[in-house]
Amino acid sequence: MRNTLYLLVAILIIGLQSCETTPETITPPAYALVIHGGAGVIKAANMTAEMDSSYRVSLAEALDAGKNILENGGTSLDAVSVVISILEDNPLFNAGRGAVFNEQGFIEHDASIMLGSDRNAGAVGAVRNIKNPILAARLVMEESKHVFLVREGAEQFAALKGLQIVDPSWFMVNKQREKYEQTKNTQPEREFPLGEKHGTVGAVALDNFGNLAAGTSTGGMHFKQSGRLGDTPVIGAGTYADNESCAVSATGHGEFFIRYAVAHDLVARMKYGGQSLEEAAEQVVMQELVNSDAGGGIIAIDKVGNICMKFNTPGMFRASVKAGEEPYIGLYADPKTAKKE
Ligand code: ASP
């Protein structure tokens, strides 16, 4: 009886944590997948029931596609690429179709992808006509001798490799055009309207072979300066994967995520500092970034399949699933843990 009580209390405590901590001796699950659709001022009070449900349905669809790949023995790299392509095609998110406009009225996409087994990586920056920037990032990784290509060079490479090229108008949706016009008419020059930044997409996965992968894709910050690159395509800032520690995808105010090398900082804290994923994420996201007034969050999976979804904003679109477990979908924070507006 007493043992049962202890067990129940232990289960409750584990359930309340935002990140899990499984000792490394435990066999990793057959697979695990976490995805995000950006962090920011995402509050139940600002959402209609339809919006709330559209986000949940969209996250569930993307998660399910990744889960199917992993369940059927596919790789974490394939799961990450497919999930992110689906979210890029979804106009609800600030990546691919539906991305934000820069101050000149163009859309410039950033994306990156990384494999934990050999730390191979690929990225594209400020590309304007590649339908799925994450697939271009993957091609840079797999079929070029470089890690990072930008603008026309990246676009020409993607076209040469047979990726779908679209007219830039394909990405433009009315909601973002209106937001751009409104900012242009009301904002002083070159100021970020802070606090509304969300919609970047990302995914991290652990597959049956024990390989981690991470990827992130975005239109960047609304009304950004033309040519600005954020953290999303910067390996070590917005994306990182290392089979010895974890896979990370970040979202938030990119300038801070670059300066603090957020994704690699998590890896380094685990690898060299002996911290758990939960400890590392808590210190980086809830202390360092909060102390600098930098809003955002991360999703991560460690090498034994512990999942972490940590953010300091009122919400982060997120979903996760593990072999043998029910999927989780969340939009809002517990009000007690949201520190930044
Ligand atoms: N991190 C992205 C950037 O700075 C924006 C975001 O995640 O919302 O470009």
Q: Is residue 249 part of a domain?
A: yes
Residue 7 lies in a domain: no
Degrees to nearest 5, angle at CA 254 with 249 and 257: 65
Task: Please give the distance, rounded to the nearest whole angstrom, from the Cα atom of residue 33 to the centre of ligand 1.
Answer: 21
DSSP collapsed to 3 states, the chain: CHHHHHHHHHHHHHHHCCECCCCCCCCCCCCEEEEEEEEECCCHHHCCHHHHHHHHHHHHHHHHHHHHHHHCCCCHHHHHHHHHHHHHHCCCCCCCCCCCCCCCCCCCEEEEEEECCCCCEEEEEEECCECCHHHHHHHHHHHCCCCEEEHHHHHHHHHHCCCCECCHHHHCCHHHHHHHHHHHHHCCCCCCCCCCCCCCEEEEEECCCCCEEEEEEECCCCCCCCCCCCCCCCECCCEEECCCCEEEEEEECHHHHHHCCHHHHHHHHHHCCCCCHHHHHHHHHHHHHHHCCCCEEEEEEECCCCEEEEECCCEEEEEEEECCCCCEEEEECCCCCCCCC
192 band by pLDDT with thresholds 50, 70 and 90: very low
How many angstroms from the chain centroid is the CA of residue 339? 20
The CA 169 to ligand 1 mean position distance, Å, reads 21
Q: Which atom of ligand 1 is nearest to the CA of 257?
A: 1
Pocket of ligand 1 (CB under 6 A): 38, 197-198, 200, 218, 220-221, 230-232, 238, 251-252, 254, 257
Domain annotation covers residue 4: no
What's the pTM value of the predicted model, to 2 decimals?
0.91
- Residue 18 banded pLDDT, cuts 50, 70, 90: low
Q: What CA–CA distance (Å, rounded) separates 125 from 249? A: 16
The residues pairing with 204 across neighbouring beta strands, listed in sequence order, are 34, 214
Residue 166 included in any domain: yes
Partners of 249 in the beta sheet? 239, 299
Greatest alpha-carbon pair distance for the chain in Å reads 68
CA of 24 relative to ligand 1 center, distance in Å: 32
Mean model confidence pLDDT for the chain: 90
Ligand 1 test: best mutation among 88, 94, 251, 299, most atoms within 8 Å of CB?
251
Within a domain: 298: yes
Ligand 1 atom index nearest CA of 220: 9
Confidence at residue 19, expressed as pLDDT on a 0 to 100 scale? 73
List pLDDT tens digits, range 281-324.
999 999 999 999 999 999 999 999 999 999 999 999 999 999 99
The verdict on residue 339 lying in a domain is no
> In this structure, which residue's CA is closest to atom 7 in ligand 1?
251
Residues 122-135: tens digit of each pLDDT: 999 999 999 999 99
Ligand 1, closest atom to CA 39? 8
Q: Does residue 272 form part of some domain?
A: yes
CA of 29 to the centre of ligand 1 (A): 31
Q: Is the pLDDT of residue 191 over 80?
A: no
Ligand 1 mean position, distance from CA 265 (Å)? 17
Host domain of residue 256: 28-332
Whether residue 69 is contained in a domain is answered as yes
Q: Whose CA is nearest to atom 4 of ligand 1?
A: 254
CATH code of the domain containing 148: 3.60.20.30
Q: How many domains does the chain have?
A: 1
Q: Which residues are tagged catalytic?
A: 200
Given this model, what pLDDT does residue 256 score? 97
CB 298 within 8 A of CB 250: yes
